[in-house]
Structure 1
Amino acid sequence: MSDRLRVLIVDDHQLVRSGFAMILSVEDDLEVVGEAADGAEAVAQARALRPDVVLMDVQMPGTDGIEATRQVVAEDLGRVIILTTFDRDDYLFDALEAGASGFLLKNSDADTLVEAVRAAAGGHALLAPEVTRRVIERMTAASTPAPVAPSEPAAPLLDPGYALLTEREREVVVLVGEGLSNAEIATRLFVGEATVKTHVSNCLAKLHLRDRVQAVVWAHRAGLIPQGE
């Protein structure tokens, strides 16, 4: 079926690739179109197959997953989700800097993996909850906002698109910045998850952001997330 999302799986362990392929193959809207065992092969396969999403390991012989991600993103060959056994900050931040749309640990459950593929293909992103918190902590520690009165939020560093956001969209982008999923935002705001998805998409478009990862970064740089969140 031509409307299925095309996925390329990259890992230097055959059993891992087979396991991911088995999880994805039972989904009617997903299709595994290829596999690769190292970064160089991943880039070559991405050029040949033009997948929607690349599931990318980090530690591989030769060209590693970070460099392969950088090349895939630079050539616009597909959106990349990093999948690694190692919960390391250097992998996380190097991957995001390289342009990855998501970062998951290999102990994530099958539903999370499937959700991440669909989210990345749709222009959004999904980070493991513990990863989202670390992104927030790193950015909070790195920023030095001017002091404000306790009752006042930090003044946003206004992006031209910020003025175009509705009040509800501003609420949503703050909650995205705090690391909440669409389902959690829907619960917080007492609206449907489909409504949240629409708001998130509108925020990304108006702020010219690629995906949810960039929205987290933007919210913190704009000063929308209070210190300590």
Structure 2
Amino acid sequence: MNKIKVLICDDDTLIRDALKIILSAGGEIEVVDTAVNGEDGVNKAIRNEVDVVLLDIRMPVMNGVEACKEIKDKTNSRVLVLTTFDEDEYIVQAIKNGASGYMLKSSDPKEIIDAIKIINNGNTYMQGDIMDKLRENIFQNNSSKKLENFTEREKQIIELISEGLSNKEISQKIFISEGTVKNYITSILNKTNLKHRTQIAIWYLK
């Protein structure tokens, strides 16, 4: 079994060292490198071709929000924001910039490992407290969009995305090809003015 390649990006040396020990202990994750700020993280994500980047938000030189956008633009890595900050602005911007997950450093180590696995499999992960904030505050500009604008199949796919299902899982559940699922998602994104499937889930849950 191939290990999940992870890059830890955090300006706190103790956090980096602790995460490296915790994540490597189970044998399923390989921490290929660590980075001390956002810019360093972007460069190392490009160089190492990692599967998942664990990204702090407040860092010198380049913060996590900016680094997230750079990583998504320049690599195929998925981003899990792991931070002590749960301010709405950070959450919204990180997701808009392509983060696949957002959780707090106070999380149980097993939950962090589980989140990495979930994200590596192409799904999204939002910690309960973070999801509650998103339900209340995120994507206010899209609140006027109604489900009446969508076909029945699009509504079905929106609901399944919000349940955390991957494109493959959706295709198997409703008996259509994975390519057809992607076409429906493209249509949904166009109708909602959103950029990626994570935002569809949050928009719907709100």
Place the TM-score, normalised by the shorter chain, in its bin.
0.7 to 0.9
> CA offsets, 1:95-115, max 9 Å, x none?
111111111110011121111
Contact 2:41 2:67 in 1 (8 A): yes
Query: Which one of the candidate residues 129, 149, 159 is aligned to 1:157?
Result: 149
How many residue pairs were aligned? Answer: 192
Q: Is 1:216 aligned with 2:201?
A: yes
Contact 1:101 1:211 in 2 (8 A): no
Q: Which consecutive unaligned segments of at least 5 residues does structure 2 have?
A: 190-194
Structure 2 residue aligned with 1:74:
73
Contact 1:53 1:120 in 2 (8 A): yes
Q: Identity percentage over the alignment?
A: 28
Contact 1:8 1:32 in 2 (8 A): yes
Contact 2:8 2:31 in 1 (8 A): yes
Question: CA 1:139/1:16 → structure 2, altered by over 3 Å: closer, same or farther?
Answer: closer
| Structure with higher helix content | 2
Q: Which consecutive unaligned segments of at least 5 residues does structure 1 have?
A: 147-153, 183-194
Residue 28 (structure 1) shift: 2.5
Following TM superposition, the consecutive aligned residue runs of length 4 or more in structure 1 with deviations greater than 3 angstroms are 139-146, 162-167, 169-173, 195-200, 202-206, 208-212
What amino acid does structure 2 have at the position aligned with 1:40?
E
Counterpart CA distance in 2 for 1:37 and 1:198 is 42
Structure 1 residue aligned with 2:107:
108
Contact 2:170 2:181 in 1 (8 A): no
What amino acid does structure 1 have at the position aligned with 2:185?
L
What amino acid does structure 2 have at the position aligned with 1:92?
I
Bigger-Rg structure (1/2): 1
What amino acid does structure 2 have at the position aligned with 1:34?
D
Question: CA 1:26/1:93 → structure 2, altered by over 3 Å: closer, same or farther?
Answer: same
Residue 81 (structure 1) shift: 0.7
Structure 2 residue aligned with 1:119:
118
Question: CA 1:29/1:92 → structure 2, altered by over 3 Å: closer, same or farther?
Answer: same
Contact 2:46 2:75 in 1 (8 A): no
What amino acid does structure 1 have at the position aligned with 2:135?
I
RMSD: 3.1
Residue 127 (structure 1) shift: 0.7
Counterpart CA distance in 1 for 2:61 and 2:36 is 10
> CA offsets, 1:116-162, max 9 Å, x none?
1111111111011111122222247545548xxxxxxx54322xxx5
Question: CA 1:145/1:32 → structure 2, altered by over 3 Å: closer, same or farther?
Answer: same
SS of residue paired to 2:39: helix
SS of residue paired to 1:156: helix
SS of residue paired to 2:149: coil
Q: Is 1:172 aligned with 2:160?
A: yes
Question: CA 1:144/1:84 → structure 2, altered by over 3 Å: closer, same or farther?
Answer: closer
Counterpart CA distance in 2 for 1:113 and 1:204 is 29
Structure 2 residue aligned with 1:99:
98
